[in-house]
Homo-oligomer: A and B are copies of this chain.
Amino acid sequence: MTFPELTAAEQRYRTNLINSLHGYKSTALCGTSNAAGVHNLAVISSVFHVGATPPLVGMLMRPHTVARHTLENLRETGCYTLNLLHPAILRQAHQCSASYAEGVSEFTETGLTPVIKNLLAAPYVAESRLQMGLKFVEEYTLRSNSCIVVVGEMVELFCADDAILSDGTIDHHRLETVAASSLDSYNTGVPVAKFTYPKPDTWTMLVSGE
């Protein structure tokens, strides 16, 4: 399929296609609270790495979806959590995207467990196997479609020690981390290859896999 055909396609088809274009997407449940202490939980499928020192994480938010509570809350409280998914909590996570009424918490509706820890006023998802706590750093509203890029700094991390390899890399295969590949489809990963650091004068070598 080339682009002119796509433009002519009906809206739902086009939306499905564009939302699944890039392959596997970093996906997490974003936990926030409002000033009154009502917890909110939203699926974010556009989490991206921004920097390691300091540890910065980006995500894209749409202003007009259910995720807008997330945005209002993180602006208000200055913090949020990102909690990775695994198969056993997937149906509950997907259900968090339903348009619940004002003041209703997705935690209550889906049965996922909010946990407030020491540092932040935002709830973690107790069932998640990798939980990050972030301080809101900055945001940019895109001129092209009013979506908002949010950048946060990680200030807390909870992950089982045995899922962190000796070189610091997280073992997502072990954690059964799930990635969205469209609006409604989720996947786990299978390691294919790990390579050496690439240099101009020699070919990168296979460390494991393939």
Name the interface residues of A87-120: CB closer than 8 Å to any CB of B: 87, 90-91, 94-101, 104, 109
Interface-located stretch among A32-40, A68-76, A144-152: A144-152
Q: Please name all residues of chain B whose beta carbon is closer than 8 Å to the beta carbon of A197 when the two chains form the complex.
A: 184
CB of A93, distance to nearest CB on chain B (Å): 10
Assuming A46-B58, A58-B149, A182-B194, what are 10 further A-B pairs, CB within 8 angstroms? A1-B164, A3-B155, A15-B52, A25-B49, A50-B144, A50-B145, A91-B204, A169-B181, A169-B182, A184-B207
Chain A positions within 8 Å of B, measured between CB atoms, are: 1-3, 6, 9, 11-28, 45-58, 60, 82, 84, 87, 90-91, 94-101, 104, 109, 130, 132-133, 137-138, 140, 142-145, 147, 149, 151, 153-159, 161, 164-165, 167-170, 172-173, 175, 177-179, 181-182, 184-200, 203-204, 206-207, 209-210
Verify A27–B18 contact, CB threshold 8 A.
Answer: no
CB of A192, distance to nearest CB on chain B (Å): 5
Verify A138–B130 contact, CB threshold 8 A.
Answer: no
Verify B186–A170 contact, CB threshold 8 A.
Answer: no
Verify A191–B200 contact, CB threshold 8 A.
Answer: no
Q: Please name all residues of chain B whose beta carbon is closer than 8 Å to the beta carbon of A190 when the two chains form the complex.
A: 187-190
Q: Please name all residues of chain B whose beta carbon is closer than 8 Å to the beta carbon of A25 when the two chains form the complex.
A: 24, 26, 48-49
Once bound together, how far apart are the Cα atoms of A177 and B70, in whole Å? Answer: 31
User: Across the two chains, which residue of chain B brings its CB closest to A18?
Assistant: B52
Q: Please name all residues of chain B whose beta carbon is closer than 8 Å to the beta carbon of A204 when the two chains form the complex.
A: 91, 94-95, 98
A-B contact list, 6 entries, CB within 8 Å = A19-B52, A21-B49, A95-B203, A98-B200, A99-B199, A142-B151
Verify A168–B17 contact, CB threshold 8 A.
Answer: yes
Verify B94–A195 contact, CB threshold 8 A.
Answer: yes
Verify B172–A87 contact, CB threshold 8 A.
Answer: no
Cβ-neighbour of A48 out of B20, B46, B100, B155 (below 8 A): B46
Verify A184–B177 contact, CB threshold 8 A.
Answer: no
